[in-house]
Amino acid sequence: MSAEFELEHGLYLLHFEPAYRHARHYLGYADVIGRRVREHFAVPSKASPLVQAAIGAGCAVTLARVWPGLGRVDERRLKRRGGHASLCPLCIAADLVPASRRATVASGRPSRARRR
Ligand SMILES: [Zn+2]
């Protein structure tokens, strides 16, 4: 992870492979992205129950994307919106996202991080 994420607040997206039950992603907010992501992978873990369960079930958990600078309002908006696969570069690369939904990645928010 690049050093710039170490100190910044923002959102991050964890990708589970294979999916854990119905969940393939965990979207979270952190005051310090790098520290929070390390907590998810630490033993013993301070991760969310969902991430712990996915790791316990043998899923590979990957940090798929970060949005530095976004806040809790953005987190709630994205969680309400759902369809985290359309935000996930790993799912898009693996062809898990229908072409009709991919446009939302290129044109929709959140893209603040990319425009910097
Ligand atoms: Zn994904």
Q: CA 11, CA 70: separation in Å to the nearest integer?
A: 6
Q: CA 73, CA 104: separation in Å to the nearest integer?
A: 19
Give 96 Cα–ligand 1 centroid separation in angstroms: 8
Predicted confidence at residue 110, as pLDDT, reads: 47
Q: Strand runs (DSSP E) across 1-116, as ranges?
A: 10-20, 23-30, 60-68
Give 83 Cα–ligand 1 centroid separation in angstroms: 10
Q: CA 88, CA 102: separation in Å to the nearest integer?
A: 10
Predicted confidence at residue 108, as pLDDT, reads: 41
- Radius of gyration of the chain from its Cα atoms, rounded to whole angstroms: 14
Predicted confidence at residue 109, as pLDDT, reads: 46
Burial of 115 (0-12, 13-18, 19+ CB in 10 A): exposed
Give 4 Cα–ligand 1 centroid separation in angstroms: 23
Give 14 Cα–ligand 1 centroid separation in angstroms: 7
pLDDT per residue, tens digit, the chain (116 aa), is: 555 567 789 999 999 999 999 999 999 999 999 999 999 888 777 778 999 999 999 999 999 999 999 999 999 999 999 889 999 999 998 877 777 766 554 444 444 444 44
Give 61 Cα–ligand 1 centroid separation in angstroms: 10
Give 99 Cα–ligand 1 centroid separation in angstroms: 15
Give 91 Cα–ligand 1 centroid separation in angstroms: 4
For the entire predicted model, the pTM comes to 0.79
Domain spans of the chain?
3-106
Predicted confidence at residue 105, as pLDDT, reads: 47
Q: CA 64, CA 16: separation in Å to the nearest integer?
A: 9
CB 64 within 8 A of CB 90: yes
